[in-house]
Structure 1
Amino acid sequence: MALSDAKLRALKPAEKIYQAADEGGLSLVIHPGGTKTWQYRYRIGGRGAKQEKVTLGNYPDFPLADARAWRDDCRGLVQRGVSPMALRRGDPTPATASPAVMEMAQAFRAAWCGDVMARERAEEAKAQAASTVQTFAEVWYSEMVEPANSNPRNIRRVLDKDVIPAIGGKQVSEVTVTDVLAITDRIKDRGADQMALATRNVLKRLFSYAIAREVATFNPAAAIEAKFIATAKSRDVALTPDEVGRLLRAIYRSSMKRAQKLALHLLILCMVRKSELIEAQWDEFDLAKAEWSVPAERMKKDRPHFVPLSRQAAAMLEELRGLAGGSAYVFPSTHNMNQPIAHSTLNVAVRSLAVDVRDFVIHDFRRTASTCLNEAGFNSDWVEKCLAHEQKGVRGVYNRAQYASQRRDMLQWWADFVDAQVQDTGGKVIIGPFGKASQVA
């Protein structure tokens, strides 16, 4: 049956390309991405001849009436032995053609070819822009990541920090394995092997979507096995009390900067994430009250977080205020006092340690504290609140308590417990002028 404007508007894309036929060889081709293109099929020389096809442009840029007028002009040329596709390519009209046919071909070029080719060039340029990594990544993020992830900020950070600056201007279909390796190698050079692996996994998902949307035919990230980037680390590492003591003794005996030693110690005592500590600013602290209020925009779940400070933690921060040199940041960069230290700084410092402790990452400090506190019999709600973990379900809805006094007592117990592990050594470890003593034997 012939097409109508109502039928055309009702046509929806499917997983595969399909056609909706009109009459006289005219049809509309519907692509999975939603593009709808007019097409005319014909044979010059009768049924036994090879079928050819020519395209006009997209609907609704060319409405149904225009498409039928174009089809009729194409049919007139075919009946006279002239290929519309050849005219579109710019081929000359056959020398044997009569003057009337030559005039018809010239009119066809004037009416359709120039306009269509100009539109096609514009559409091609538009398609090129739409299929760059940056533009396509935004589509993938809004359509697939945000709706399906309760916390998509980690993926957003990967795209903004490492992917788009490196290959954002490239066509998705032109990204190679070498491009992906260059990105992961740069991340590993920062001392963040696990982040390099996570970035490869994000790219793998992005290109899988690109293949499904027919923007690419190859997944360069999937071609790289994870083991060639980094070995995935178990997320079940919790250091024993003895390992905590050995680690801190190694930290204070090392040649790393004093502020870095205190930062690693504070991560163990305060149970916060690394980014929450190294990006901290002095206006978040009330050291007189031994309180730290982390603003929502710096928290993983976009909720403000309150940290009661133990005596040791407050003393360390007093020392750090002197080391900060007037910067607004607790841990200012040595290159720019108006910025915090890089995220890789503490990772590099830890990797330089000579310490007999099993493989761990800084994030495992949180699990270590949680494990020790739960084993010591503290209320799990207090522990989860220190970790800024929000409970789900009915219990989470009704349990909004901050447990401020309980958490303060618990974190003080934890700081004293950690002190005890450091003291359990036969040699001297110079820790510094904070806490209960300047020297631990």
Structure 2
Amino acid sequence: MPRLAVPLTEAQIRALEPRATRYCVADGNGLVIEVMTTGTKVWRFRYTLDGQRQPLVTIGDYRMISLRVARAKAQKYAELVAQGLSPVSTARRDRGAESKADLLREAAELYLATEMAGKSEEYRRTTRRALDKDVLPAIGNMPIKAVTAEHIVAICERIKSRGSPKMALHTRHVIKRLFAYLMARQLATRNPAEVVPARSIATFDSRARVLSGDEIGIMLRSIDASSIRRPLKLALHLLVLTMVRKSDLVEATWTEFDLDRALWTLPAARLKKDRDQLVPLSRQAVFMLRELQYPRASRNFVFPSVRGNDRPIAKSTLNQAVKALGLDVEHFVLHDFRRTAAAHLRELAQQPDALNSNSAETPQNGEQDADADNATEPRRSMQRWADFVDAQIESGRQAALGTP
């Protein structure tokens, strides 16, 4: 029984070096890649017909055809052989389409099928979106060698004119990575995006994104209506209400909370600071934490990983949850919650009625101590903020129902 070939990977194929004589490496199902003495790599199909070993059938240049596509073609030719038919003429017709890969559109598809195959789903999605929305409509039908830096600048300027400088910079990076890949495959001789400095597209000294009240309501209603796990919904809501950093929340332990006093103590050691940080909790935050507490899935962590081992969720989990929702909130990141809360609280503090709020003057059990006394105004602010957030959620919900 013949020894089965171990399927190749793109990384293994790229690492194949030329030798004094050309040689073949098998992928399986008749597919082999032949490495020439010049370094050129060519896909071939090996088969037997009527009991006789036949000459190799050329599938095409590796630079033009991805591993996935080569396997699909080998499978098609194997099916012809199984019917007693020669695949030679079919392969010849297929090779006639190879010349299309000198167009950027075809080369981009090759890039997405090969280089992007091992990347995360989110990385692939954002890359394809940049290519499909702005790059390929503008220069997709151009020969690869005809694309210049001026074309890249024009694409980025059009994106900036829409008020999206960050997306313009991201698109420049996508084009740069695409051409770096094409150069590695000898499909391009230069990278036009390299000569376009990133700072000429956009610079970001600091973020100033503040969500409007409507956007806060849209986001939290969308999160609540989504299919993500209930603990993640509560985590996102608590991130809004507590105004802490994402890492501070996801790594929180139950020992840090005194829910009877509505107080969260973040230890100095975890924060890498000189002193503990006290976070007064609104009634809404305490309610959510009690829901998480009984029954709780972890002895230690408020937001444990579903993979067990009593560890917290990954820091990227909340980002991924928000991105999966596809929220209609432009240029938003989770860190914007802190800036948003601070901005709205400044406005609320200027409203006379806000200063007379009785919603959270004292902890829930009515007991006070030195810590609570020192945190009276922060506690009022936290409750004021939580009430404001509730109002945004409810106003949008009423508007959707058409009620006054």
Shared fold (TM-score, shorter chain, > 0.5) = no
> Which TM bucket (shorter chain)?
0.3 to 0.5
TM-score, with length taken from structure 1: 0.40
